[in-house]
Structure 1
């Protein structure tokens, strides 16, 4: 913006002369020309007025008292705006010496006495216009320099050989150098590969090019720059406008990383895995080598998320990822492709037995306990393996078939690895259909609960019932529990199914009590998954509150082997549930590996003798030894004994003779719908009548 002094129509002129007549004459002349005028009678007064009024032009008499014009002019030049203000000396002396003194003092021009008014008019006009142009140019330059100095981009000016002539503060900050450190040095010291003048032609001007910059501390940074050429009076100059694009590069790298890596475990994701697998397949084809793909899935991981929370689940996945990386070679790829599913890519396999070695290493590593806060978790993993080219010649086929083999490992009891065979495809399709239907079964209300009566051994009257879940599929009919329960445990669906069974059994039992009949007890099985990871105390308490069933009529059952998996957890869980008034029973007694002392510590109410022992009772003495021993062991713990799988009168008689407390089996009734059980129970039939 141009200075307001030169925008106004009436410039201010200081007239300094010791003659009042001359000052008056000059005033009249100047005011007629449109100028404003201030007066001083000597050089000292003129100097003082100059500092106060800051005039646009000075008319100074050569000879004055106190301080002559030459001295006053010299001192004006020393003031802040003095050099920019033109001074015209008025003198009657025009000898060479006097003229030299005039110009040496800093005066812009002079006029001789007597004054030629036309000459004076032209000189005043010329000098004011020149001053106006000079200040305008100076202000434009200052404005441009301000923009350059405050620019976010670094700006460096170099000559045709790349010698630095100027750099702005942004460039100083970018490279960590001051301008004084770099003036006269070649720009190639800052920016690698930048050469002048050929760079101007090799790298097109006025377009962004990327180079590497080097900071004073030795750091390397990405630089994006634009080069422009302009001609000066001496030689061409080049302006390099640059910016540090480290942040942008980091952002781009972050976006690229997020696109190809799992944010939780920092392992390659499915997209990067497929890219690497495709490259390795191409390489294997050219080198006639094999490669292996391992598809891994943690067993029952969903329950960790559902019961202990996603934060704990995330911590588990991180530890599992670290262990998997320790199990493989540096050139192998471990990827997380979603949830608790991982894939290991093993390129360059020369001996297939090495695949098995790595699989065993993985299984053993995952079996080690994982400590998360106060939780000590024991996990296993199932692995499916495919080999190129035998099991597929593209990445999608290899991954799909490895997934099929992994599910086969799940069916084989988990915690193992299976190598793909073509026969697995049919099983995989059947399993997929079963799993999809199972996930919808609760929503579609396809599950039902059947009840098998439990009778008092002495009176043979019904005193309780066991709740058993059944799946009534609309197309497949009644699906056997042994077919869908393992799948429900594997997928975690056993948790909502188990809660539904408990709620339904308690609702039905409460309804029986409301009929006014003698109250009976309902027994509900807990799966290993529920017992290990579900908050049973909270869940059971909620169900009892919702159904209104008195806790003393609920009996929860776990198998002996489940109870022994984590003795401390079992003790705590049974203690909490017993405190609520709930009974507890150990199922399948005799088939586990517990000692009697351990079982006595559990403080359960009942032991259920497994049907495998009851089935041996057939009237022959030798076959009765084991069942009688198991019964004796149970009675030694001072607990009620329930015999399962009772199917004959001989077995009933034997159990009576050996003081068994309760019996259960087809002899007294198969599992039946609640309506049938109501009829059985309401008539209070004994065994002879119920068999009719």
Structure 2
């Protein structure tokens, strides 16, 4: 490049050529010098020569339009003209093939030939900024993708660097109640209560990426339970963290509801048998230490079965709830009331002043509960049979106290009902009744006194028949037709469940195949399998054998098992379910939500359906908690690609709710009651096209 005192026509005459060459090649840019008159190159460094694909020695004398490719020259030619007029120009030039971004700097060289200032040359500097441009472009694309994702998702998203909030999406702002301007620049930990702050700070400091639960403070001050998971993102500006936030209020409520249901009766909301035994054990231990007296009242409603049979189960449930309320109102706040099953209740009376006080309480409860109660237009008045056991006289063991009070209650019933009796030693023979019932049940199996009833399951959206559930009944010689709740526990405890289950499976498959052969609608039948059967038998082999013998294709058989069954012997359970799946038999989780409600097994095991328990459906749509639970179970089934089945549907409003929630199948008295084989056949014939 010429010095002010040198000849502007070229650089080769410069005495500092060697130094100039050294400096030009050391510059991390492409450099060339062109004369202003002809735009011919008079000097170029090695980087420029490499860029245009020539040697350094061949460039002097060549025109700029010849050295640069046509695409690049078209872009910078107007800029060259501006530079020749004395203007310093910068321009970013993008070449598409290959994709490169070049930054041009055109610097005019001024001199004063003849004493007049003029532009005598042009210095061209070229910087290849492709790498930086591509990095910026990738960052912009990444930011754009993240922005679109943040707009599309309903999950709360917050971006922060070292805890300082950079951005948040709209769902996050709705969740917290703040505006974006109110949160940007603040510490993310400002919104976390003190009891969770150390956990959140440690999670962030260690860049952990697993989900965890905590609470977040809303702008109003209320606390919101959330599940959060953080992810580290590397950006040109450094590492950022994105936190995905999910409101788990509904989940927490469902968990609390599940914990409540584990210890309470779903109909009356009273403590259940499990809760009773826990409380009885605690109070018995305390009474023993304090040498105190305690009473247990075992209460049975007389002739309650007549209410169910004459007015229906809904009326019976209504009456049970009223009796539960009267019991609670009739005892003191320190007493304990539980429903132990059917129409039976237990009252614990701690710190009893004397033995006779238990009888006085029983008499007062009998008067209160026998007061007339009107259901519809029908006034009802029930008497009580009450059995009483006393601690310490009748022992300290909770099971003994409950069993002896139950024995006294049975004796009261046999003595004419409507009375109360204290337990006495001569009532110890009451287990003979259990032996008698076992004998009758064995005779029923031998004399084919078991019956199968079939309850339809329909598609909730259309009402179209989807299948049946087979329900076993016992034609009792004294009590008439009784349901499984009244004899299956006895069968399980006396080793009779295996032959009963085998009979139910075979009869259901035989009957369904017969209906198919008649040309009636070809739908599947669901058969319940107890935990004992699932655990102790080679059920897959037996099911396959029954299907072969009856000729029923496996796709028309479904097996219903409870949550408890799935929780036991995980490896054996998983293997059995896989074998059932391979056989082509569907598996339904029955009474979902009433057990431990562990979600892990739903993902781990091959299942087909989740059955929403009747206890969650019965109070919908009026009970918001139950609606939330039903919604959560249906959504859970949908996310796991399982069918949802709601049982206990009794009203059009319940069915309409299930349709809105997307529940796929439904059953209950509001659709059709369980029917014997003859009535079911007639029901199917009515469905068949004429």
| TM-score, normalised relative to structure 2 | 0.47
Largest Rg, 1 or 2: 1
| TM-score, normalised relative to structure 1 | 0.47
